[in-house]
Structure 1
Amino acid sequence: MKVLIVGFLKTGTKTMCEALRLLDYKVSYHGRDFSELYEHWNKFLDGEGRPEDLRKMFEGFDTLSDILAMAYWKEFLVAFPNIKLILTMRERESWVKSYINQLTKYNQSALGFPLSIFSPTARRWWDFHCRPLAKVCKLPAAKRFSLRKCFPIDNEETCLKFYDEYNDDVIKNAPKDRLFIYNVEGGLCEFLNEDIPNYPFPHMNKNGEITERRLKYDAYIKDMYTEMYIVFTLLAAFISLFVLWYRPLTVI
């Protein structure tokens, strides 16, 4: 692992991943965390993960971003002593509106209803993402069981508070010689000692579009729908049997 993108959600982390991919960095994308590394990450979420686990999990990969990178960037520093950190930031007021919009889209999507009620995989997906978010934002532990899963969304003032606290922690405690605070003025290639490419800087996840894309293309979403249809079939069969069993006998 060469570079960890530690910027808060909705600060251009997907764009930064794409920029690094264009520079020939091998990116460990979001879906891999849940589909391939679920059990490994749960060790960290339960407080049992070790540096050697991270080295095994990301062998052959160069970079990672988003909530798990945010939650465990200090552990990555231990596991990869030469890793560089990129802290993406954006103007606070535009960030908070974009952040709340992204979480709202997830909550209002099929992942929230009906999948989080009828698919065991969907319920695991929500727990898997809510737990590290609670760690980063210092939120109370959510109830492990609730009928419908969703991201907790606070008011703008509270969101800005944990956004500022998180950024301040990274800036204060990350090694200064290995931390790059990215803004639109550039400097990324110089920080990474890479040649500047002859193509424009990418722009990913505009207006939270990644929610719709994941629902359409992520393989485990198809598994969630399959589980839901199986549950529907079993419920229909159970109700039919129940009605037949308790239907009053017709007297001739």
Structure 2
Amino acid sequence: MATFSDAQTAKWKAYFDPKMFPGDLDIDRRKCKRTVPMQVLSLGMSRTGTASMKVALHILGHNDVFHNLNTFQNLREWDIWIELAEAKLNGNASTINWRKEFDGLLGHCEAVTDTPPSYFGSELITAYPDAKVILVQRDFEAWERSFLSLVDVMWNPVYNVLAFLDPQCLGRMTRISNMIAKAKHVTSRGEMKAKLRESYYAHYDAIRAATPPKRLLNYELESGWEPLCEFLGKPIPNEPFPHINESAALKD
């Protein structure tokens, strides 16, 4: 395992430091349009190194990379993600102009990673036919241990109370999390755990099926910069590949 200097680790963590966020920007994304081209769709499941991918893509020159934690900067955009999730859940996806919706939500971003984008993987792949797709997949057992720690929070009654008391932030996050779970026919932690392996592999199968092979990189974080830079046509940075502790970032 590579070791990194305290300064290097601090630099990476700064991307996820709440003190670095400008507060709730209160931007109405329904009125926004695309201002930069969407170039990279990193569509691996949460807890597969999405925070590390965010930092890596920043280092490679992508000036704005969407990650779930970015929503804390602009809470009202959760309402749009919720509407899109409702459309998928209710079988109304064909009524949505996905490119228009994504251009509003993500028009300032050159790349995306983590949820909610990974849940809308096939829609993003179709909406941005020139964007390259990166699929980071971990060993299932290692991923399961990490993901279940998040599931324990989701199904904790105390969390639901907090979500009720904080409708602007936790309430919105809980709504879309429940919709995604419902779409997978999950209503309890037990069901979530029982269906986790099937759901995990189904996600990766669906992304691979939706992506032309020339647009797709099946990638492991342990591979470092070389395959990623070759795929994206970028020079290899003169610094280590970032490794972010996503659990710590979420706790912060």
Q: Same fold (TM over 0.5)?
A: yes
Spell out the pairing of 1:30-45 with structure 2 (5 A cutoff).
30-33=68-71, 35-45=75-85
CA–CA distance in 2 between the matches of 1:105 and 1:120? 17
1:198 lines up with 2:245 in the alignment = no
CA–CA distance in 1 between the matches of 2:142 and 2:76? 34
Spell out the pairing of 1:70-81 with structure 2 (5 A cutoff).
70-81=118-129
Match of 1:188 among 209, 228, 231: 228
- CA shift for structure 1 position 109: 9.7
- CA shift for structure 1 position 86: 0.8
- CA shift for structure 1 position 210: 2.4
- CA shift for structure 1 position 128: 2.3
CA–CA distance in 1 between the matches of 2:143 and 2:209? 21
The DSSP-based 3-state class of the residue aligned with 2:41 is strand
Give CA deviations for 1:3-49 in whole Å, capped at 9, x if unaligned: 11110111111111111011121212324446142232233123253
The DSSP-based 3-state class of the residue aligned with 1:86 is strand
- CA shift for structure 1 position 116: 2.1
Contact 1:43 1:49 in 2 (8 A): no
Give CA deviations for 1:64-112 in whole Å, capped at 9, x if unaligned: 11222222111112221101111111111111111102332455597x0
Contact 2:155 2:189 in 1 (8 A): no
RMSD: 2.4
Spell out the pairing of 1:1-252 with structure 2 (5 A cutoff).
1-25=38-62, 26-33=64-71, 35-47=75-87, 49-50=96-97, 51-105=99-153, 107=155, 112=159, 114-121=161-168, 122-135=170-183, 138-140=184-186, 152=189, 154=191, 156-183=193-220, 184-186=222-224, 187-206=227-246, 208-213=247-252
| More deviation, 77-86/112-121 | 112-121
Question: Quick one: structure 1 residues 59 and 173, their matched pair in 2 at CA, closer, same or farther if it must change by over 3 Å?
Answer: closer
CA–CA distance in 2 between the matches of 1:49 and 1:210? 33
Q: Report % sequence identity.
A: 24
Question: Quick one: structure 1 residues 139 and 114, their matched pair in 2 at CA, closer, same or farther if it must change by over 3 Å?
Answer: same
CA–CA distance in 2 between the matches of 1:105 and 1:62? 31
Alignment: residue pair count: 200
The DSSP-based 3-state class of the residue aligned with 1:132 is helix
- CA shift for structure 1 position 203: 0.9
CA–CA distance in 1 between the matches of 2:242 and 2:156? 28
Gaps (5+ residues) in structure 1? 143-150, 214-252
TM-score by length of 1: 0.70
CA–CA distance in 2 between the matches of 1:10 and 1:31? 13
Contact 1:5 1:66 in 2 (8 A): yes
Question: Quick one: structure 1 residues 22 and 107, their matched pair in 2 at CA, closer, same or farther if it must change by over 3 Å?
Answer: farther
Question: Quick one: structure 1 residues 62 and 152, their matched pair in 2 at CA, closer, same or farther if it must change by over 3 Å?
Answer: farther
TM-score by length of 2: 0.70
CA–CA distance in 1 between the matches of 2:177 and 2:215? 27
Which amino acid in 1 is paired with 2:96? Answer: G
- CA shift for structure 1 position 211: 2.6
| More deviation, 122-131/13-22 | 122-131
Contact 2:66 2:112 in 1 (8 A): yes
Contact 1:106 1:211 in 2 (8 A): no
CA–CA distance in 2 between the matches of 1:180 and 1:109? 39
CA–CA distance in 2 between the matches of 1:102 and 1:40? 23
Give CA deviations for 1:122-178 in whole Å, capped at 9, x if unaligned: 32221023323443xx225x5xxxxxxxx8464655211211121122223321111
